[in-house]
Amino acid sequence: MTLYGIPNCTTVKKARAWLADHQLDVAFHDFKKQGVDPAWLARVAAQTGWQALLNTRGTTWRKLSDAEKAAVSDEASALALMQAQSSVIKRPLLEIEGTYHLGFSEAQYQDLFD
């Protein structure tokens, strides 16, 4: 089991705390330090859909120019942006046995681990 994200993200912090509180052993992959493998990113997008994987609510997206936002029109352009700026990947991203779960809520994690 691996949790992907960036350590200073509030939602990632909540997910890590929830997992620790429930004594679940999880590896952490820091996008900023460890990068984003293009093949891995394509697999995740194939499972979740690139639209769900692209975080259009975060600061990084809001800081993009209108032209940069408009250039994201399909999976290839979205993946290229996510590869270049990992902060636009929705997080946290929890991988359990090859299945990816986007975001965090206590109810969502409770359902996953019951």
Q: Which residues are catalytic?
A: 9
List b or e across 84-102, with b for residues whose CB sees 16 or more CB atoms inside 10 angstroms.
ebbbbbbbbbbbeeeebbb
Distance CA 113, CA 49 (A): 23
Say if residues 36 and 82 touch (Cβ distance below 8 Å). Answer: yes
